[in-house]
Structures are given as C-alpha cells and as structure tokens.
Amino acid sequence: MEVEAKFKLKDGVLEKIEKIARFLEEKEEYDLYFSHPCRDFAKTDEALRLRVENRIKMTYKGPKVDNETKTREEVNLLIDSFENAVRLLEFLGFKKFKSIRKKRRIYELDRAIICVDKVEGLGDFLEIELRVPEEKERIFEIARILGYSREESIRLSYLELLERLNWKV
C-alpha cells in the first residue's frame, strides 16, 4: 500500500526540506502509461505504467482508497527490458496511452520519503510518501512543517493533471 500526498511546490520549501531531511538521490524518470483493452482505467481509477530510471519497473496502481490522500494498492515488478515489456503488453491488447518525464530529488525524513518533482509540461511539485496506511497523519504533519495545509493536498496523479490540460504523448 502506498500512502502519498502531493502539493504544488511553493517558494522556499526546497530550502526547508534540505535543512530537515536527508538527501538520497536525484534522477530522471520516464513513465509510459498503458490503456487496458477491456476497461477504462480513468473510470476505475487504476493505472499501469512502465518506468525507466536507474532501473525498469512495471507498476500497477489500484483505485484510491481515501478522500484526503492518494493512498492506493501498488504492485511493482522489476523488468530487464523496456522494449520487451512494451511488446508483451501490446501483444496482450494494451495500448500506449501517455508518457511523462520528470526530474526527481528524493529525501528521507523519519521513515517518510519526500520527493521534489519537476514535471515536464506541468511544473514543480512536492510528494510525501509512507508505506504504512496507519501513519497517514504523519504525512500531513510533515506537510504542515513545510508550510502546507491539508486542503492544499492534490489527489490527482500527474497523469490526471496532464489529462486535464489535454496533454498528448
């Protein structure tokens, strides 16, 4: 289970993060999303993506399970070939849907992962993530320390935000 809250990055927040959290890494990510051959992931609030970073991962994301965060079931598989994974999905009837590129700076603070993302075509965002649903309040505590209220949390994924802008692959 992934428990996550997203916020539009405000001025000065990166500097706050760098003072209180431990920097882990910076990387570029390329995400390729697929549409399902038999159901509309937009209606079922699911996603299937291939991510290329320092490794290749296939991720299924289930529907969000609460009204405040992006908490959802997540299944990840490591893949050894991006091209073969795309071919396999296409043989099974999945279609390439959208792609997203971003630069991500990753920090750690008290078991929470804090990501500062620069999303191509969308802007800068902050994500705070934990793997324990019972600790959801910890996410909002960190957000408060960084200058955010609960109400500023964005429940839409980057894919959904870009879709609202009618962004193309």
Query: What tens digit of pLDDT does each residue of 5-32 get?
Result: 999 999 999 999 999 999 999 999 999 9
pLDDT, one tens digit per residue, over 28-76 is 999 999 999 999 999 999 999 999 999 999 999 999 888 888 889 999 9
Q: Which residues are catalytic?
A: 33
Task: State the virtual CA torsion across 57, 125, 19, 24 in degrees, nearest 10.
Answer: 10
- CATH assignment of 3-164, among 2.40.320.10, 3.40.640.10, 2.30.30.100, 3.30.420.40: 2.40.320.10
> ∠ CA(159), CA(164), CA(166), 5° rounding?
90
The whole-number pLDDT of residue 90 equals 97
The whole-number pLDDT of residue 132 equals 77
% of residues, the chain, pLDDT over 90: 79
The whole-number pLDDT of residue 22 equals 97
pLDDT, one tens digit per residue, over 113-151 is 999 999 999 999 999 999 876 788 999 999 999 999 999
The whole-number pLDDT of residue 166 equals 67
Task: State the virtual CA torsion across 4, 6, 9, 13 in degrees, nearest 10.
Answer: -30
The whole-number pLDDT of residue 145 equals 96
Domain ranges of the chain: 3-164
